[in-house]
A = this chain, B = another copy of it.
Amino acid sequence: MAFSITLKVRDYECDLQGIVNNANYQHYLEHARHEFLNSYNVSFAELHKRGIDAVVARLTMAFKTPLTSGDSFRCTVDVKKEGIKYVFTQNIYRLPDEKLSVKASVETVCLIDGRLKECEELDTIFFGSKHKD
């Protein structure tokens, strides 16, 4: 089962339409990916300090049901490797009715000291030794 975190909409995240501004879903997705890293005892900030920067190369988001003030939601994270990319499949579900709010695909790559590279550390963490076969 996919990793997920549960959050609650903060009113400042809503815009003049009274619903969560679209850019904030991108924030939710990012935060969920970083918490996913944390669940492996890896810190995005600490990776950066060691010269390893995970960056988003491509993002697709489908907006299904807007979240609004007072809503709680669950944001999932699943990852697979495609070539040099980590492709994250992420969904946001409104709670408690589990209605799909956002469906996203996020392709990220690793820059090591500024150069595009395979990141063995993340490969091992995410996929274990199986991936190296």
Contacts and interface: CB of A to CB of B under 8 A. Distances in A.
A129 interface: no
Interface of A is mostly: mixed
Q: How many copies does the complex hold?
A: 4
A66 B55 contact: yes
Interface in A35-79: 38, 43-46, 48, 53, 55-63, 66, 68-70
Contact of A48 (B16, B21, B43): B16
Contacts of A22: 26, 30, 56, 59
A11 interface: yes
Contact of A23 (B15, B30, B34): B30
Categorize the interface residue count of chain A. 35 or more
A71 B8 CA distance: 18
A81 interface: no
A124 interface: no
